[in-house]
Amino acid sequence: MTKEVKRRPVTATSNFSGKLHPVLARIFASRQLTDEQQLEHSLQHLLPYQDLHGIDQAVDVLVAVLRAGKRMLIVADFDADGATSCAVAMRALRLMGAADVRFIVPNRFEYGYGLTPEIVAVAARQQPDLIITVDNGISSIDGVRAARQHGIQVLITDHHLPGAELPDADAIVNPNQPGDRFGSKHLAGVGVVFYLMLALRARLRTTGWFDERQLEEPNLAQLLDLVALGTVADVAYLDYNNRILVAQGVARIRRGICTPGIAALLEFSGRSKERLVATDLGFVLGPRLNAAGRLDDMSLGIACLLEDDKEAAVVLAQRLDELNRERRVIEQDMKEQALETLDMNALASAAGDDPTGICLFDERWHQGVIGILASRIKDHLHRPVIVFAIFNGTGIDSDELKGSARSVPGLHIRDVLETIANQQPGLILKYGGHAMAAGLSLRRGDLNEFRRAFLEELSRHLSSEDLRGVVYSDGELDAQHLGLEMAEILRFAAPWGQGFPEPVFDGVFHVIERRIVGGRHLKLQVHLPDDPRCFDAIAFNTSDAAWPKGELVMHLAYRLDSNEFRGKTRAQLVVEHIEPVTER
């Protein structure tokens, strides 16, 4: 589709000292940072756990269960955030002397998402005294009611947006629940659990628990590798508080201080621990961990994160890597099938704002991969996308569809679903999520009616400008800054990610060589008009079939990165957008 490059405005007045590189000062100012204190990632700058609504009540529940030596059962979500949340809770509770703590994770193909009555029935077989939900539960009205009928207490930790009614749990910790005054609403599920464990440790310390039990008080910073992985993999908004959590976790992994499972996943991905950056957690480790929940059972991923034996962790990581390879094949097949259904190129070139969104369904599609497919189509068309697959859950009508939604900036996709659900009760069976991603379920026979309601609601919120793809640039890089030194400075300057984007620059280049590598990536050799030095550039998933032949002058939007190949590290331009300027 047609994209445009826009320069980021620098609206903040910066007070950076002269020690900060001027390019970095410009970049940080465009991200609303004004002084160097906001670049300080010490744990002492974390927001206080005391501001989380319900945290004291939740700690009361945990302390009572700990002192009585009762059984705790963690019910986790089946994605990377849920897996890391579960691992943090399991490890922390064991370090603090929990006598009996276990976990289960609903298989998405049988039970779907969250603390459902069906998964409570499964949990009840283990006779827990307390169920702790991680990364789910805020919408589990019926599930909590079922747990109470079994005589089981429920502690909910979640970060998803609540509905009009909250479950009748013994305690709820969620920065997005009504009445919460925590300074960041962007904690991932794993961040919420980490904060709860900080609060629990503080209470146990003041009541003499560790001295009584002759336990060493745990350093919970050892769990930050898991917190960082879950936060980035869940595409959480990297506000200052989340940047601290991620920066601390990444720093520990670089020093080799991480769980054996993360170390093993890095080994299979071919990434160096020493050069790890936050984006590697999202694009390299996250998919391998998520593959278990998408294709098999996330218990495998959680087991990998809980394993302390290095050799055993390698075996588990190898299986996760194999699942991720299977996921890629399935995804590619589904993408080709989607192309048969939807002529992307025709739609991308269509004028105006029709259609404002896309709803796709195919009986052949794998429900574990529909979220990825929705993301791919959304990125290509810059329109909200919902992809549906048949949900064949245990005891559930095979005509039920499961949908995964992805949105564009300016449209809160969960709010759209809520509006439809309120206007047409019963049309949507279940829904939940965030501004940019959500999930839902429908009866198959209601798909056309939902599609009509979805497009109608989108038309109220989105203009043609909202549907234009925009690449935001941090401006041009001078020739003196276009090289490996600046690439390395940028790489390690901050935890880049959602809400704190990696720098993108733009400029005019001469393209002197181009070729396709890997079957679908465009490799270029480029140089600035007034500088003969050549640089490698690569545009992923891009064809040059429509380009005129010969040397060209092109306007590129790109990220400056470093690429290691055959023992040599060189600067590389990772191209986000290509636009011809003129032929020579």
DSSP string of 186-235? ---HHHHHHHHHHHHHHHHHHTTHHHHHTPPPP-GGGGHHHHHHHHHHTT
Q: How confident is the model at residue 333 (pLDDT cuts 50, 70, 90)?
A: confident
Angle at which helices 22-30 and 484-491 cross, to 10°: 40
Q: Is the pLDDT of residue 376 over 50?
A: yes
Q: How confident is the model at residue 169 (pLDDT cuts 50, 70, 90)?
A: very high
Confirm if 293 and 301 have CB atoms less than 8 A apart. yes
For the chain, residues classed under CATH 3.10.310.30 are 342-467
Q: Say which CATH architecture domain 342-467 belongs to.
A: Roll (3.10)
With a pLDDT cut of 70, the percent of the chain lying above it is 92
Q: What are phi and psi of 470, to 5 degrees?
A: -125, 130
Q: How confident is the model at residue 345 (pLDDT cuts 50, 70, 90)?
A: very low
Tell the residue number behind the tokens 């429509």, with chain if given. 546
Q: Is the pLDDT of residue 397 over 70?
A: no
Mean pLDDT of the chain: 88
Q: What does the alpha-carbon distance between residue 255 and residue 431 come to, in Å, rounded to a whole number?
A: 41
Question: Among candidates 89, 315, 316, which has minimal Cα distance to 192?
Answer: 89
**Topology of the domain comprising 472-583:** OB fold (Dihydrolipoamide Acetyltransferase, E2P) (2.40.50)
User: Mean pLDDT across the stretch 442-449?
Assistant: 92
- The per-residue pLDDT for 549 is 62
- The per-residue pLDDT for 564 is 79
- The per-residue pLDDT for 185 is 95
Q: Is the pLDDT of residue 164 over 50?
A: yes
- The per-residue pLDDT for 324 is 85
User: Mean pLDDT across the stretch 261-276?
Assistant: 92
- The per-residue pLDDT for 394 is 36
User: Mean pLDDT across the stretch 154-169?
Assistant: 94
Omega before 355 within 30 of 0, i.e. cis: yes
Q: How confident is the model at residue 246 (pLDDT cuts 50, 70, 90)?
A: very high
As a residue count, the chain comes to 584
Q: Is the pLDDT of residue 170 over 60?
A: yes
114-123, 161-170, 432-441, 497-506, range with the lowest pLDDT: 432-441
Please write the tens of the pLDDT for every residue from 543-577: 666 565 666 899 999 999 988 777 788 899 999 98
- Buried (b) or exposed (e) across 314-337, using 16+ Cβ within 10 A? bebbebbbebbeebeebbeebbee
Q: Is the pLDDT of residue 276 over 70?
A: yes
User: Mean pLDDT across the stretch 132-142?
Assistant: 94
With a pLDDT cut of 90, the percent of the chain lying above it is 59
- The per-residue pLDDT for 350 is 37
Q: Is the pLDDT of residue 348 over 70?
A: no
User: Mean pLDDT across the stretch 338-352?
Assistant: 50
Q: What does the alpha-carbon distance between residue 236 and residue 290 come to, in Å, rounded to a whole number?
A: 16
- The per-residue pLDDT for 351 is 32
The identity of residue 213, as a single letter, is: R
- The CATH class of 49-322 is alpha beta
Q: Is the pLDDT of residue 346 over 50?
A: no
Structure tokens belonging to residue 407: 């949105």
Confirm if 298 and 292 have CB atoms less than 8 A apart. yes
Please write the tens of the pLDDT for every residue from 450-461: 999 999 999 888
Please write the tens of the pLDDT for every residue from 353-371: 457 888 888 888 888 788 8
- The per-residue pLDDT for 354 is 53
132: left (phi over 0), alpha (psi -120 to 50) or beta: beta
Pairing of strands 385-390, 358-361: parallel
Please write the tens of the pLDDT for every residue from 31-90: 989 888 889 999 999 999 999 999 999 999 999 999 999 999 999 988 899 999 999 999
Under 8 Å CB-to-CB from 523, ≥6 apart: which residues? 514, 515, 516, 517, 536, 537, 538
22: left (phi over 0), alpha (psi -120 to 50) or beta: alpha
Q: Report DSSP state, residue 275.
A: G
Angle at which helices 80-95 and 224-233 cross, to 10°: 160
Please write the tens of the pLDDT for every residue from 471-485: 899 999 998 999 999
Q: What does the alpha-carbon distance between residue 15 and residue 260 come to, in Å, rounded to a whole number?
A: 42
Please write the tens of the pLDDT for every residue from 507-545: 999 998 888 887 778 899 999 998 888 999 999 877 666
Highest mean pLDDT among 81-95, 269-283, 455-469: 81-95
Q: Is the pLDDT of residue 106 over 60?
A: yes
